[in-house]
Amino acid sequence: MTTFLSITKLLILVCIVVVLPIYIYFQYPEFFMQFRTLESINDYLSRYHTASIFVYLGLQIVQIVISIIPGQIVQFAGGYAYGFWLGYLLAISGIAIGTSIAFGLARVLGRDGVHLLFGEKRITKFVNQLNSKRAIAILLVLFAIPGFPKDLITYAAGISNFKYKPFLLLSLIGRTPALMGTILMGSMLNSESYLGLAIFGISAVILCIYLWIKRHELTSYVDKMYNKFINYNQ
């Protein structure tokens, strides 16, 4: 009975994460073509007028759970279509819901299923980091780096010893700086602030490269600050 349930859980998640996207991709290729560029995403959203808010929220959720649609493009489009504050609110809400779904799917599927989908070596590496004493520092640094495969971290967290609420909170905190930057650039493009957009964009690229190069040092620094905070409050 246990084996049957495990197989059933695996089949359900495989259908959600793998089979369904592949089916849609080949059956309705024009659907994914709508999300390749900023212009195509905004054209798609404009068809729904007021309801586009819910469509955008759904896109952000799907992007987190399945990761077929590029996250930066979706978030940039949010800033372009809705402005900074509403764009951020919609994006962070979608990210929170999508992260919760992915975390829950990993919990339901279990270790073997997640290994099968994403590779045992890659997932085990993240799980070991999440189960270590430096987990909080590692999470904050990795989620702060744009372009890092955050979906893998979320699924790894679901089969680690990490609790749901702390993980969700840390993931949202870690994502926020880069998320705000992407949405701000989208809103700047809409307002035709091209010089400011260019300066901000170049600065963001340099910062991303720096964060990636210094990720180990940053992890150690955040870890030290966290330990000092804990010791101070004991």
66: burial class by Cβ within 10 Å (0-12, 13-18, 19+)?
Answer: middle
- The two tokens of residue 206 are 């340099």
pLDDT band at 167 (very low <50, low <70, confident <90, very high): very high
The 10s digit of each residue's pLDDT in 171-206 is 999 888 888 888 888 888 777 776 777 776 777 777
Helix then strand count (H, E) for the chain reads 14, 0
- 37 neighbors 27 (Cβ within 8 angstroms): no
Show me where the domains of the chain are located: 8-232
Q: 10 Å Cβ neighbour count for 29?
A: 9
pTM reported for the whole predicted model: 0.74
Distance between CA atoms of residues 64 and 67, nearest Å: 5
Which sign does the torsion angle of CA 83, 141, 102, 173 carry?
negative
pLDDT band at 70 (very low <50, low <70, confident <90, very high): low
> What is the DSSP annotation of 2-49?
HHHHHHHHHHHHHIIIIIHHHHHHHH-HHHHHTTSSHHHHHHHHHTTG
pLDDT of residue 14: 62
Between CA 63 and CA 53, with CA 81 as vertex, the angle to 5 degrees is 60
Of the given ranges (91-105, 110-124, 216-230), which has the lowest mean pLDDT? 216-230
